[in-house]
Copies of this chain bind each other. A is one copy, B any other.
């Protein structure tokens, strides 16, 4: 008689873990049962804005593996529309509600993996739960937006919050032909970037016809008599709106774990160790609901991103499968685009770095993605943040056009290895005129940062 693994959550982290564990342990040795509240498993949540935008035609293109496939090919018993409503870590049971049948049942586990994902932050204002106010974290959410677009033919959308999801959804709504207002509390969009770069993002958004309400808090949602959104009040303005989208970021959806006594960290994520174990025996967590650590700030963080969820799921699965893996932390790398503008970051912003106790020097450069004389050379702006005296790289941000953003991965790999800007500037990166100036923009930025470190020391 083998062990029994229960997975809460059918998305990337949970199903990566289940698949990895299955590869290492057969069904006689390990029974795997996964409960998913929604209708879908193992899908690309990050693709939802593009599906809503109409750039991806079929919802199923976003689904990596359907429940039937997990069942038939991997002997993983996935039950969708089943919500885990309670965990008893003493009895080692979960209470599961079948959302279709309306019934509840208890299931025992030997090992429990919590992969409940993230939930959108909702400003605590009147009407925020009105009909027509959408999150876009799940395929069910995405389908709800598309249904509203089809059924109600809205003309005006308000996007609340101008982070990654806010930007992507604002663009999706423009592509759908809606008039788009973006309301953001901060003075600039993309508060995960330093202000001088986010100014360029604001310009690009206005260039697409979006109206920006910056430094403005949402104060309420007005509704029709049928409970559907009619307007968003933001600062002194009332913005007529047929739909609204929450782009205010997310928080780890750790409530179920917290209620069961699983320790929650300062980032509101479930506390995990390098193996993705929580402090409670037999309880594991992975993905957006889990807390991890930042390799540069050395502080606990929770970052909702599919790539991290997949990696953590794999690590949890290796350990649940009886092998070994350790999750080495994150850098806060992220990338997006709005219209033709590519936006990327890794490591710490100036504000993050100072909050972590670093003193910094900064360097900003403007260059081109290809040799300046080569057709299709596009602008790229890079900001590098390095530690005073040591010159250790702490972070980098990129804003530019085609070919700009993916260069962030070189900074990420340099950060991973705790490189100094002095060492980075000599790295043998690839060069040919269709791909880069003779000094790649990454190296130009590192060289300027190295100069700033030297000057600061002098």
Interface residues of A (CB under 8 A from B): 12, 44, 46-47, 50, 55-56, 61-62, 164, 295, 305-308, 310-311, 327-337, 342, 344, 346, 371, 373-375, 403, 405-410, 412-414, 416-417, 419, 423, 426-436, 438-440, 442
**Can you give 30 A-B contacts (C-beta < 8 A)?**
A12-B438, A46-B431, A46-B433, A47-B371, A47-B373, A50-B434, A55-B374, A56-B375, A306-B431, A307-B429, A307-B439, A310-B438, A328-B423, A335-B435, A336-B432, A337-B435, A342-B435, A344-B430, A403-B406, A405-B430, A409-B410, A409-B430, A409-B442, A410-B413, A413-B414, A413-B417, A413-B427, A413-B429, A416-B423, A416-B428
With a CB–CB cut-off of 8 A, which chain B residues contact A337?
432, 434-435
Task: Kindly report how many copies of this chain are found in the complex they form together.
Answer: 2
With a CB–CB cut-off of 8 A, which chain B residues contact A12?
438
Chain B nearest CB from A399 CB (Å) reads 14
Chain B nearest CB from A405 CB (Å) reads 6
Instruction: Using CB atoms, name the residue of chain B closest to A438.
Output: B306
Choose among A306, A332, A346, A431 the residue with the greatest number of B CB atoms under 10 Å from its CB.
A431
Contact across chains for A433 and B371 when beta carbons are under 8 A apart: no
With a CB–CB cut-off of 8 A, which chain B residues contact A375?
55-56
Q: How long is the Cα–Cα vector from A50 to B430 in the complex, in angstroms?
A: 18
Name A430's contact: one of B408, B429, B430 (CB within 8 Å). Answer: B408
Contact across chains for B333 and A430 when beta carbons are under 8 A apart: yes
Contact across chains for A328 and B426 when beta carbons are under 8 A apart: yes
Contact across chains for A430 and B416 when beta carbons are under 8 A apart: no
Asked whether A428 and B61 contact (CB < 8 A) given A50-B374, A373-B44, the answer is no
Q: How long is the Cα–Cα vector from A62 to B371 in the complex, in angstroms?
A: 9
Contact across chains for A428 and B331 when beta carbons are under 8 A apart: yes
A-B pairs with the 10 shortest C-beta distances?
A: A335-B430, A307-B431, A417-B417, A61-B373, A413-B413, A331-B428, A333-B428, A409-B429, A306-B438, A330-B428
Choose among A12, A305, A371, A427 the residue with the greatest number of B CB atoms under 10 Å from its CB.
A427
Instruction: Using CB atoms, name the residue of chain B closest to A427.
Output: B416
Chain B nearest CB from A50 CB (Å) reads 6
With a CB–CB cut-off of 8 A, which chain B residues contact A330?
428
Q: How long is the Cα–Cα vector from A346 to B428 in the complex, in angstroms?
A: 9
Q: How long is the Cα–Cα vector from A371 to B434 in the complex, in angstroms?
A: 23
With a CB–CB cut-off of 8 A, which chain B residues contact A430?
333-335, 344, 346, 405-406, 408-409, 412
Choose among A47, A428, A430, A436 the residue with the greatest number of B CB atoms under 10 Å from its CB.
A428
Q: How long is the Cα–Cα vector from A56 to B440 in the complex, in angstroms?
A: 20
Q: How long is the Cα–Cα vector from A423 to B329 in the complex, in angstroms?
A: 11
With a CB–CB cut-off of 8 A, which chain B residues contact A417?
413, 416-417, 419
Chain B nearest CB from A387 CB (Å) reads 18
With a CB–CB cut-off of 8 A, which chain B residues contact A334?
430, 432
Contact across chains for A433 and B44 when beta carbons are under 8 A apart: yes
Instruction: Using CB atoms, name the residue of chain B closest to A50.
Output: B433
Contact across chains for B307 and A438 when beta carbons are under 8 A apart: yes
With a CB–CB cut-off of 8 A, which chain B residues contact A336?
432
Contact across chains for B436 and A406 when beta carbons are under 8 A apart: yes
Instruction: Using CB atoms, name the residue of chain B closest to A12.
Output: B438
With a CB–CB cut-off of 8 A, which chain B residues contact A409?
407, 409-410, 429-430, 440, 442
With a CB–CB cut-off of 8 A, which chain B residues contact A329?
428
Q: How long is the Cα–Cα vector from A305 to B430 in the complex, in angstroms?
A: 10
Q: How long is the Cα–Cα vector from A403 to B376 in the complex, in angstroms?
A: 14
With a CB–CB cut-off of 8 A, which chain B residues contact A47?
371, 373-374, 433
With a CB–CB cut-off of 8 A, which chain B residues contact A55?
374-375
Q: How long is the Cα–Cα vector from A434 to B337 in the complex, in angstroms?
A: 8
With a CB–CB cut-off of 8 A, which chain B residues contact A327?
426
Chain B nearest CB from A454 CB (Å) reads 9
Chain B nearest CB from A397 CB (Å) reads 12
Add 15 more A-B contacts to A44-B373, A333-B431, A403-B406 (CB < 8 A): A44-B371, A47-B374, A307-B431, A307-B439, A329-B428, A330-B428, A331-B428, A334-B430, A337-B432, A337-B434, A346-B428, A346-B430, A406-B436, A410-B413, A413-B417
Q: How long is the Cα–Cα vector from A427 to B413 in the complex, in angstroms?
A: 7
Q: How long is the Cα–Cα vector from A88 to B295 in the complex, in angstroms?
A: 55
Chain B nearest CB from A13 CB (Å) reads 11
Chain B nearest CB from A376 CB (Å) reads 10
